[in-house]
Structure 1
Amino acid sequence: MVPESHGNAPPVSLPAGYLPPYGTRLTVDSFAQQGSDTWAADGLDARGSPARYELTVTAPGRAMCRVNGEPTRYRNIYSHQTGGLESSLLAWFDWILATDAAGRLLLAADDYGGETVAAQLFRAEHHLVRHDSQERCLTDFTTLPELQGWLDEALAPTPLRTRVVAFEAIGKEPALLCDLLGPVRENPTGPLTPEAGLRYLPMPFGTAESVGFVRGELGDRFRSMTRVGFDGSTPSWVHAVSFVPTSELAHFGVETRTTADGESWWAILLDGVDVCLVIPRGTDERDWPMNISAGYDQDGQEATIGIRPTQVSERENRLQDHFQRRWGRWLDAAVVLDDEELAAGLKSVEAMLDKEFGGRHG
C-alpha cells in the first residue's frame, strides 16, 4: 500500500496497480481539504445529477461520507450489502469514483438510451434496444412493501407487474421447487404442467428448516429466476427455474400472507403467468444472504427477475468490474486508441495468455 496523498489531498493509500472505475473523472487530487479532517469533491451521483462528496477521517484509514450534506451508509459495490456510516477510507474513495462513473455512463447513454426523437432514431438506425438491470442485497429490505416498491420501480419500463408476499408450507406433503426445461411459448399464460416442460425438484421450500436443506444441497448453485417476453402487454413466452407454479400453491398447502415474520420465506407472484419466485429467508438468512436483480431488455418487452446467493453476486460482479476497469477504453466506441496503447494492450493480453497456457503456440 502506497500513500497517494498529494498536497492537501486526503490520506488514502491505493494498492499497487490500482485501476479507477472506468469513466470517472475524479482522482485523489479532486478532493480539496475543508478542515483538519475533511475533504470534498464535486462529481455525479448514480443518476447523473451533481453531487458533492465529503470524506471525514474518523481514525487512521477510516472515514465517513456525506453526499450533498447527508450522511451516507456504505454500500459494497460488488455484494450490494449496506453497512454502517463508517468504512475504510479506501472503500469510500473507490465507492465515490464508482458512483461518479455510473452517473457519467448514464448521461452518455442518453444519446441513444433516452426517449428523445433523436435517441429513438439512433437506436433504430443502429439496431439498438434499451436495457437495464438493478441489483440489491435482500437484507436491505426488512418489510414486504420495501421490496415491492423497489421491484415496481425496476420493472416500470415493462408490462410485468408483481406482488410480494410471505408464505409458509403448511401441508402434510413437502412443497417442492420446480424448473422449466425451456421457455414455454405455447399458452404461456396458462398453468405450467409437466407437458409444458415442468419438472419437480427434490427441494422443499417454505419452512425455516428447508432453508438449511436447500442451502446444503445447492449452496452457491441456488438460483430462482424468471424471464418473461411480451407482445405488447401480453406475455408471449415464459421461462423460470427454482420456482413454484402459482397454480400449485394450493396443492402444496402453501399459505401466502401480506405480512412476514422472521421465519417466513418470501415470494414474488407474477401477474399474467403461472410463476411464483421463492426467496429463502429464516434461520440461516444472515449466514446465507441473497441478492435480487430485476431488469429489462428489448425496449421493455422482456423482463427478468433473478435471486442468487450474495457471495456469488459479489464474486461475479468483482470480476466484471475488474475487466471493465482494465479494458473500458477498448470497449468504448467513442475512444480511438493510438498505436502505443494498442501495442501495450496486445502485449498485456499475450502476457496473460502465456501465464494461463504456459506459452503461445503456432
Structure 2
Amino acid sequence: MIQKISTAQAAMLVFNAIAPTATVVLPIILGTYLEQDSPIGILFSACVGMAIAALIGSIIKYNQGAPFLEWIGKRSSRWLAVVLGIFLLQYYLDASAAIMREFVNFLKDNVLLQTPVFVLVGTSLLIIIYAAHKGIEAIARVNSILVLLYLLFLPSFMFGLGDYLNVHRLLPMFQHSFASVTLASLTPVAWMSEVSILLFLAPYLKSPDKARRIGWIGLLFVTVIMQIIMLTTLMTFGPEYLKSSTYPGFVTFDIIHFGNFWENLNIVFISYWILSVYMKLAMFLFATLECFKQTFRVRENGPYLIGLALIIAAECLFTWKQPAKLNEFNAQGRFPVYMLINVLIPLSIYLCCLVKRTVAKRKGQAA
C-alpha cells in the first residue's frame, strides 16, 4: 500500500526542504549585496519562487500525481525519460551532498569542534537512511511536529531579543539599485526552486490537484521565517555585521536569555535546527531514491538506498572538502544549476504538453 500524505504535511515538507540551510547561508549572501535592504531581496525571491511553485503544481495537476519520469516516458519516449532521470539523479545526489557538507561544517565550527568530519557524516548517514527507509509518510509525521514547534520557538526568540532590537539599524532603506536586488536574489531564488521536490513526492499526495497550493503555502512560511531572521539580525547587530560573520543568523541565539536563571539558550535552538536538517536530508535522500527507481525501473529499495547514501557521503567528504569552494558554489554556481534542473526542464516539459494538447484539440475539432 502506497503511503499518502496530506496537503498540510506536504506544505510542511516543502518548508523544511528549503528553510534549514537557507537560514544558515542566505543572511551573509544577502547582507553582502544589499545590507539593510536585504528584506527586499527576500521578497523579490519569494515572488519568483511562487511562480516556480505554480509551474510545478501545474505539472502535477496535469499528470494527476503520476510518477514524474514514468509519466514522461509514456508521454514521449523511454530513452528521454532515462536521460532526464540521470540528470535529475546527479542533481539530487549533488544537492544532498552539499546540504550535508553545510550541516557538517556548521557542527564542526560551532558545536562539535574536536569531532572528526567522517564521524559526523557517518552518524548523519545512519539517521537519514533509517528515516528514508521508513518512507515519506513517517518523515512527514515527524517533520510536521518539528515545524509546529516553530509556534513555541518563534515567540521565545522574539521575546528574548526584545531588549536588543533597534529599528534605526534598518535605515536608510531603498539605497540599492534594482540590479543589485536582482543579483542578490539569485541564490535565494535557487533555494526557492527546491519546491520542485514535489515532482517526486506527487505520487504520495492525497490531493495532487492541490500541489500548487502546497508549494505556495510552504514558500510563504519560508519567506516569513527568513524575514524574521534577517530583520532581527539587522536590528540587533546592524548591516555591517552581516558581512563579517560566517553564521549571522545563529549569532543572535547567543545573546538570548531570560533573567539569570535561563541563559545560554543557543544550544536549544541549534539542537532544533539539527533535527530540521536531518528531516531535510531524509527528504532529499527519499527523492534521490525515487528518481533512481523511476529512471531504472527498480521496484524495490533493496541495497540501492544504502548505495545512494554512500555516494552522497563520498561527495560530501571529498568534493566539498574545502568550505571556500562550497561557499563559492553557493554564491555563483548554484543559480544556473538549480534553474536548469528545477525550472527550465519542468517548463520545457509543461510547454510541450500544452502544445500537444492544443494540437490534439484542433485535430479533434477538424475531425
Q: What TM-score bracket applies, with the shorter chain setting the length?
A: under 0.3
Give the structure, 1 or 2, with the largest relative contact order (CA under 8 Å, sep 6 or more): 2
Structure number having the greater strand percentage? 1
Kindly name which structure, 1 or 2, has the bigger radius of gyration based on alpha carbons.
1
Structure number having the greater helix percentage? 2
Q: TM-score, normalised by structure 2?
A: 0.21
Q: TM-score, normalised by structure 1?
A: 0.21
